[in-house]
Structure 1
Amino acid sequence: MVLNTRSLARSDRRSKPPGWLLFVVVSVLWGIPYLFNDIALREIGPLWIAAGRTIIAGLVLGPVLLRGGRWRLLITRWRALLLVAIVEVVLPVSLITFGQEDVPSGTAGVLIALEPIFVAVITLILVRDHGLPLTGWLGLVIGITGVGVLLGIELTGPSALLIVGAALSYAVGAVLISRLFADADSLTTTAAMILIAAPILVALALVAEPVTVPTPTTWVALLVLGSACSAAGFTTFFALIRRSGPTIASLTTYASPIIALLAGFLVLGESITLLQALSSALILLGAALVLRKKRPTAAPARDGSRRAHRSEG
């Protein structure tokens, strides 16, 4: 009986996807949203893109709330969910799509990698005894320098600042979720947050933008954004945390911007200059140095999942 139990355990481990495969999948799913945003923007407005992908993600993740009474979270914590839905979904997703009207998709993906730097700054402000080591401060300086170089190339208009604002909003949302929902299941919180954000985005789109009928190409882009990038991206990310831990999962913060740059270059023909590559490397290096201090004291798997879901645009 003991041998059979061990055999079943080994079989169960083999049936699960390996950690490296989950890592690759998450990096791709969170690196390609900017590409599909760019495709959808050719036909519909930014708010309808944000609303469409959120509705689709809500339809996919909504059934999560039907299991084990998870729907009660919507009733018991609706005020907190409303706050994080606005800060973590409505604002950043809208700002990204508005910003991508002028900002190349690859550059947008790199700018979102500023989120861990913003999280570090916010934590420094909120937690008095939470200091950064020398490497953390060095990371802040390097990351900000990279943004300055990147914005100084050709992105002097407000559109790039909208993307930076989205990264800041993601960071604020990550801090709020870690404080308000530390005791809640990550996937349940995400599903509830998206379901609340969807009608808000639809209302904003109805007021601000004309209703247009998308072509099949745009529908495909929205389906990929909602079902793959959002719903499957979150689900796979949490699976990666359970499989390999939050430290490995946090590395997707550095991999997904590279995917975004490559996707923009290969599919949309966006140029990658030496200066753009250098500034992108500075931003990613800065984020890596800022996050480095957190790794030795990584939170348990369920809480650690809240740190990096903002790599997805």
Structure 2
Amino acid sequence: MSRRGWILFAAMCVIWGIPYLLIKVAVREIGPAELVFVRTALGAALLLPIALARKEVRASLRPWLPLIAYTVVEIGLPWLLLSDAERHVDSSFTGLVIAGVPLVAALVARATNRDERLTPGRAGGLLAGFAGVALLLGFHIDTGGVVPMAELVGVVICYATGPLIIERWLSDVPRYGVAAVSLAAGALMFAPFAAPDLPDLARTVTLQPALAVLALSVICTALAFVLFFALIAEVGGVRATVITFVNPAVAVVLGAAVLGEQVTLLTGVAFALILTGSVLATRREPSRPVAAGGG
């Protein structure tokens, strides 16, 4: 890759590795619905002018039904579940579980595309990866509870399904248009639930959660989309999705360094299994993208 490509790649590895830390800080004082509303509203406010300037909004609205489905599956539902789960579990643990997205994406691709062959290498990768996820969930279920574990599994399924909607029904729709309009649609979906509590929240929220929401909205949402599209243009979609395998490590390091979260030998073993399994399960010809699953 070019020097610019490496810079964009490194930036995306960090930017989509820190949402779990920021969410953990934000949900100390901000409810999940309010957090998702602010994140989508600010993200849309920053991206819509770009999409309008590029004349991509109208083209994005034409396939309105797939766009709504994408908004629910890739933004609304997973961000809500993620925010609620992180009220009970560590951010580093969350990042490791989300690392299982490529595994589920491989299964979804196999189920929806007959041309996808389940080779022995891929099958072994799936077994290893899911063993790592099961190891994490099994050892944390007593401390986190069943509901947060189920929510994280739901996030993984959503993140693995969202790219399928893009590939099948929105592949010809301009990228900035899809990102901006889906964020705006997400904000509209959560407005009825979040708006009544926003005045009280604005008076009571302290500095750290407020800054976490701002960073989550501006850096991890709006800026992340801009940089990710630039990375795809620079190095191609397949190479760009390799960030999927680096984000969890960033989440673990930040969780331990900033929040003092415990990193055990079990964590390392589980991450090695998930990473190895994801690489093996998603090895394929360059034409198919791997789900990125950005927090």
Normalising by structure 1, report the TM-score.
0.87
Aligned equivalents of 2:198, 2:82: Cα separation in 1: 16
CA offsets 1:253-292 (integer angstroms, 9 cap, x no match)? 0111000000000000000000111111111111111121
Q: Larger deviation: 214-223 or 90-99?
A: 214-223
| Alignment correspondent of 1:101 | 87
Deviation at 1:241, TM superposition (A): 1.5
Contact (CA 8 Å) 1:47, 1:209: kept in 2 or not? no
| Alignment correspondent of 1:219 | 210
Query: 3-state DSSP class of the match of 2:118?
Result: coil
| Alignment correspondent of 1:238 | 229
Contact (CA 8 Å) 1:234, 1:309: kept in 2 or not? no
Q: Larger deviation: 231-240 or 241-250?
A: 241-250
Deviation at 1:186, TM superposition (A): 2.0
* Structure 2 counterpart of 1:43, from 23, 26, 29: 29
Contact (CA 8 Å) 1:124, 1:131: kept in 2 or not? yes
Counterparts in 2 of 1:210 and 1:96: CA distance versus 1, 3 Å: farther
| Alignment correspondent of 2:148 | 159
Structural RMSD (CA): 1.9
| 1:281 maps to 2:272 | yes
Aligned equivalents of 2:173, 2:287: Cα separation in 1: 18
* Structure 1 counterpart of 2:188, from 179, 199, 202: 199
Query: 3-state DSSP class of the match of 1:292?
Result: coil
* Structure 2 counterpart of 1:253, from 244, 251, 259: 244
Deviation at 1:126, TM superposition (A): 1.5
Deviation at 1:64, TM superposition (A): 2.3
Deviation at 1:95, TM superposition (A): 0.6
* Structure 1 counterpart of 2:49, from 63, 66, 77: 63
* Structure 2 counterpart of 1:185, from 174, 186, 189: 174
**Gaps spanning 5+ residues in structure 1: where?**
1-15
CA offsets 1:9-66 (integer angstroms, 9 cap, x no match)? xxxxxxx962111111000000000101011111111111111111111111111221
Work out which of the two has the higher radius of gyration on C-alpha atoms and give 1 or 2: 1
Deviation at 1:113, TM superposition (A): 1.4
| Alignment correspondent of 1:131 | 117
Contact (CA 8 Å) 1:38, 1:100: kept in 2 or not? yes
Contact (CA 8 Å) 2:125, 2:281: kept in 1 or not? yes
| 1:263 maps to 2:254 | yes
CA offsets 1:169-196 (integer angstroms, 9 cap, x no match)? 1111111111111112222211111111
Query: 3-state DSSP class of the match of 2:201?
Result: coil
One-letter identity of the residue aligned with 1:191: A
Deviation at 1:209, TM superposition (A): 9.4
Deviating above 6 A after TM superposition, structure 1's stretches of 4 or more consecutive aligned residues are 207-210
Q: Larger deviation: 64-73 or 282-291?
A: 64-73
**Gaps spanning 5+ residues in structure 2: where?**
none
| Alignment correspondent of 1:168 | 157
CA offsets 1:99-143 (integer angstroms, 9 cap, x no match)? 111111011111111111111111211123322222111111011
| Alignment correspondent of 1:33 | 19
Identity %: 33
Normalising by structure 2, report the TM-score.
0.92
| 1:21 maps to 2:12 | no
Aligned equivalents of 1:121, 1:76: Cα separation in 2: 30
